[in-house]
Structures are given as structure tokens and as C-alpha cells.
Chain A
Amino acid sequence: MFTTRKQYMPYVSPFDPCPPIHVKTYVTAPNLYAGFQPPNLPQFSLHEALKKGTLWKIFYDPYYGPYEVNNKGDGL
């Protein structure tokens, strides 16, 4: 399934001083995949667009912190 969160597994040494983070994540935001925006893409309602920060559904990709209830698994 397509996701804008990618993962990699860094090398873990037996001598690392801190407990290892086995999986690291990074963001590949939707703008990387869009190319020149094609016409007639689906839009949010105007009120929603003002809240979300974009009119265009394909570009909406919110990020949540580790302390937030709505956590999508970001920020770990």
C-alpha cells in the first residue's frame, strides 16, 4: 500500500551505548510523486481547505507528534 512514511533499518552494533532504534522512518511528502499538477483533481470544501492548508486532497499529508492522541506513528 502506498505510504508517505518510509522505513530503513540502520546497523546496530553490540557496543552501542543507547538502546537501539531498530527502525528509522522518514517522510516522502506527496509533492515528490505529483509532477506538474494535472487538471480537475479532487478538492476539499473551501472551509476544510482553509483548515487543512491545501485545497487539493492529494497534497494533504498531516504529521503528528509522539504526544498526540491522533498519532499516526510519526515522530518515533
Chain B
Amino acid sequence: MWIYEKKLQYPVRVSTCNPKLAKYLIEQYGGADGELAAALRYLNQRYSIPDKVIGLLTDIGTEELAHLEMIATMVYKLTKDATPEQLKEAGIAPHYVDHDRALFYHNAAGVPFTATYIQAKGDPIADLYEDIAAEEKARATYQWIINMSDDPDLNDGLRFLREREIIHSQRFREAVEILKEERDRKKFF
């Protein structure tokens, strides 16, 4: 069960009407390493992993939903008042003819979201290593979006999200250490 707080995890500000940035940001909405994939991956893995790390997957999976909401807000703000002409210029006319200004789960190239973006191997180490890789990929994606964006307010929010990926990666690495169990023993192989 979840309790919903009717506010964003971090304030989203967008200073320029630049629908092109929405085209890039949608990668983190419905892309392979985006926030939807992250939330679904972690929340689903919880059922088949040792008890000690279930709470971590719940916490991070939940936070990814909060990130998804931030990305949605950014995309919405960047497109809600853009004219069809501006959307055409931004290269999102194909999105417009299918969805108007509605958001949809697809990546920056328009490929719709698929469950094959995530994995659940059932092996705790394999799954946590996938999670670490996913966090590093999300961190890198935020860097590439920041590189494409000249909107300082938007970048401020993206920097926050990227920092969270660093922390998530750290916590998943610690989860691996917990499951290895040999942490406090001075043993060398």
C-alpha cells in the first residue's frame, strides 16, 4: 500500500518554452533506463529476494515513481502551450498526431515502452547487479540530457534526479555487500 503526498519530491521549474527538451526528456519517462522501468523493476524484484533487502527495493522503487512524476511535470510544462507549429519544429509532430499533447510511455525516438526493458532473474546477486547497472545508466542519461539542455531551471531538477541515481547505486552496492555476508570477516580468497 502507498500513501500519496500531493507534492513533487523536488520542485520542477522550466524557464523556456522549448518542446525539443520534452522530446529528450521522454527518454527518462518511457525509455529503457527511465523512471518507469526503474520503478517496475525494483518493485517486482521484491518478492524473490532475501528479506534483508526487500525494504531497500520498496523504498527505491517508490522513489522512482516520485521521479516519474517529476519527469512528467517537466514534459507537460514544456509542451502544454506549444503550438502545433512549434511541436513540428521540435520534431514531435508524430507524437502530436497520435497523442495531441498527452504524455505517453515511449523513448526519445518514439519507441513504446516494453516490459523487456526490465529483468527479474530470481537470482539475488544477478538482480542487484542489474539494478546497479540500471542506476548508472540512468545517471549517464541525465548527463546526456543536461548536455543537450540550455535551460538552467530544468537542469537544476535534472541534477537533483541524477544525484539520486548516485545514491541508489550506492545503496544497491551495499545490498550486495549485505547478501555476501562476509563483510566483517577478515577473509581473503
Q: Chain B residues near A67: list those with CB within 8 A.
A: 149-150
Contact of B142 among A37, A54, A63 (CB under 8 A): A63
Interface membership of B95, Cβ < 8 A: no
- Asked if residues B149 and A62 are in contact (CB atoms below 8 Å), the reply is no
Stretch of B52-60, B97-105, B107-115, B163-171 that contacts chain A: B163-171
Interface residues of A (CB under 8 A from B): 27, 29-31, 34-37, 50-54, 59-69, 74-75
Q: Which 7 A-B pairs have the closest CB atoms?
A: A53-B163, A67-B150, A31-B170, A75-B147, A65-B146, A53-B160, A29-B166
Assembled-state Cα–Cα distance A54/B167 (Å): 7
Assembled-state Cα–Cα distance A28/B139 (Å): 11
- Asked if residues B159 and A36 are in contact (CB atoms below 8 Å), the reply is no
- B178 — nearest CB in chain A belongs to which residue? A36
Count CB-based A-B contacts (< 8 Å). Answer: 74
Does more than half of chain B's interface fall in helix, strand or loop, or is it mixed? helix
- Asked if residues A54 and B163 are in contact (CB atoms below 8 Å), the reply is yes
Q: Chain A residues near B159: list those with CB within 8 A.
A: 53, 62-64
- Asked if residues A53 and B170 are in contact (CB atoms below 8 Å), the reply is no
- Asked if residues A66 and B147 are in contact (CB atoms below 8 Å), the reply is yes
Q: Chain A residues near B164: list those with CB within 8 A.
A: 53-54
Q: Chain B residues near A36: list those with CB within 8 A.
A: 174, 177, 183
Known A63-B146, A67-B149; judge A30-B174 contact (CB<8 A).
no
Q: Chain B residues near A62: list those with CB within 8 A.
A: 159, 162-163
Q: Chain B residues near A64: list those with CB within 8 A.
A: 146, 155, 159
